[in-house]
Amino acid sequence: MTPEILFQQTSDFYQCLIHPDLSDVDFQRELDAFRGLRVELDRGLALTLIQENNWRTRLLGLAVGALLREWLLAPVVLELIRQPTGISIVPAGAWLMVQHQQAPSLSPEIDGSESDSGPFGDEVGWVLTRLQAQRVGNLTVDPDEVGPNSGQSLQSQLALYERLCSEN
């Protein structure tokens, strides 16, 4: 499948990935339809989408990577945080957290000093702090806490990626 075909088949699904709500029936329906595409997706597609310099494409690429459990993409996902494009920062952090839970031996080193965060510095720092806390085992996720730039809930993002990589 090509990125263009995926966007045609999923329509505006990428918008649901900004503020996912797993309790919403319509979101669940769209998520199930996306999960139904699993056999048509591959690592190359996920990589292509993630490496684009467009938050819409990156969000869809993260979803494909989680759905396929392509944890070897972790260094590329970390680059999304090092060279951010806004709305993809918190989702990339959540993806890396779920990846670390599923395959810790494949987790890249987290070093916040390498990031070129520019106007997204607050959010990049916020995500990196939580990633490091997870790695040392003292992460707590407040359900009401949101990223400083786009108001994205880390808890909702984690739930999304956990759901995408689940067997069901």
149 falls in which pLDDT band (50, 70, 90)?
Answer: confident
Q: Is it the case that residue 101 has pLDDT exceeding 60?
A: yes
CA distance 24 to 34: 15
pLDDT of residue 116: 52
pLDDT band of 110, cuts 50, 70, 90: confident
> Total domain count for the chain?
1
Q: Check if the beta carbon of residue 42 is closer than 8 Å to that of residue 68.
A: yes
Tokens for 83, please give them: 């060279």
- Residue 150 CA, chain-centre distance (Å), reads 14
Using the predicted structure, report yes or no on whether residue 21 has a pLDDT greater than 90: yes
pLDDT band, very low/low/confident/very high, at 117 (cuts 50, 70, 90): low
Residue 65 pLDDT exceeds 60: yes
Residue among 13, 21, 18, 14 at smallest CA distance from 159: 21
Confidence grade of residue 30 (pLDDT, cut at 50, 70, 90): very high
CA 56 to chain centre: 11
Range of the domain at 88: 3-165
The predicted pLDDT at position 27 comes to: 96
